[in-house]
Chains A and B, each alone.
With several copies, the nearest count.
Chain A
Amino acid sequence: MIRVQQQDFDPAEEYRALRNSGSGTGAIATFTGLVRDSGDLSGVTGLFLEHYPGMTEQVIEGLVLEASRRWDVRDARIIHRVGSLALADQIVFVGVCSAHRGDAFAACEFIMDALKTSAPFWKKEITGDTEHWVEQKAADLDRTQSWD
């Protein structure tokens, strides 16, 4: 399940769906990203998130397929918000369920890392009345390459 949407999401609903994925599920790993007060800038009051409709969903589907090739993945649920977000808002959710905990952790972290460097989303930080397009971090590229 992959969703790109403006509206907020409820991780509890996603967790319930993962938990109901069958009696072989022993492990559920989830990640949620929130808008925090310091990114490239400090004093961040909000974000604007742009994406490339169509391509985004395709890229994320590819990441889930790749994760499923590498690890035991019973189900994966990914939500990414776009548009205007406020401080402390939820941005992204990645949840994976598996028979085994190592697989659940690895697949969840892999999808999250790869999403940051290959899915066409762009973040603009807002601090009061200034705006700043976030620069890609070398550290994020390194994290993604570490899965190769």
Chain B
Amino acid sequence: MTMATDNSITVKFFARLREELDTTTLTVEAQPGLTAGQLLRSLATKGGSWAQLDGEQPVMIAVNQVMTKPDRALQPGDEVAFFPPVTGG
């Protein structure tokens, strides 16, 4: 069992992305200066269905449950979420 360290960032996916990536949550290490957009592009390099994260479709970003832009720098302990444009109501 790996304990999440103080240095980890939780990443969540929702809706079509959650299904296509077959991933609800993953944990990454925080790195100084890493932005949400950079994290997204680094995940895209996993290839396969992950490649779509690199600009193919619009991806919305929330950090700590607040919508944000890709240039937002991530801190250890942050909760980052990536999801398609919302369609409720």
**A positions within 8 Å CB-CB of B:** 33, 49-52, 54-55, 58-59, 80, 91-92, 101, 112, 115-124, 133-136, 140
List, in ascending order, chain B residues with CB within 8 A of A124's CB. 15
Q: B46-70: contact bitstring with A at CB < 8 Å (1 yes, 0 no)? A: 0000000000000000100111000
How long is the Cα–Cα vector from A52 to B18 in the complex, in angstroms? 12
Residue of chain B at shortest CB distance from A134: B87
List, in ascending order, chain A residues with CB within 8 A of B65's CB. 52, 54-55, 58
> Which interface residue of B14, B85, B87 has the most chain A CB atoms within 10 A?
B87
List, in ascending order, chain B residues with CB within 8 A of A59's CB. 67
Residue of chain B at shortest CB distance from A123: B87
The 23 listed contacts between A and B (C-beta, < 8 Å) are A50-B15, A50-B18, A52-B14, A52-B83, A54-B65, A55-B62, A59-B67, A91-B89, A92-B89, A101-B89, A116-B89, A119-B86, A119-B89, A120-B62, A120-B81, A120-B83, A121-B86, A121-B88, A122-B16, A122-B83, A122-B84, A122-B88, A136-B85
> Which interface residue of B12, B15, B18, B19 has the most chain A CB atoms within 10 A?
B15
Are A52 and B81 in contact (CB-based, < 8 A)? yes
Question: Lowest 9 CB-CB distances: which A-B pairs, in order?
Answer: A121-B88, A122-B15, A116-B89, A136-B85, A55-B65, A133-B16, A134-B87, A123-B87, A115-B89
Are A123 and B88 in contact (CB-based, < 8 A)? yes
List, in ascending order, chain A residues with CB within 8 A of B16's CB. 122, 133
* Number of chain B residues whose Cβ lies closer than 8 Å to a Cβ of chain A: 18
Majority secondary structure, B binding face = mixed
Residue of chain A at shortest CB distance from B85: A136
List, in ascending order, chain A residues with CB within 8 A of B67's CB. 59, 118
List, in ascending order, chain A residues with CB within 8 A of B66's CB. 55, 58
Are B86 and A117 in contact (CB-based, < 8 A)? yes
Are B62 and A80 in contact (CB-based, < 8 A)? no
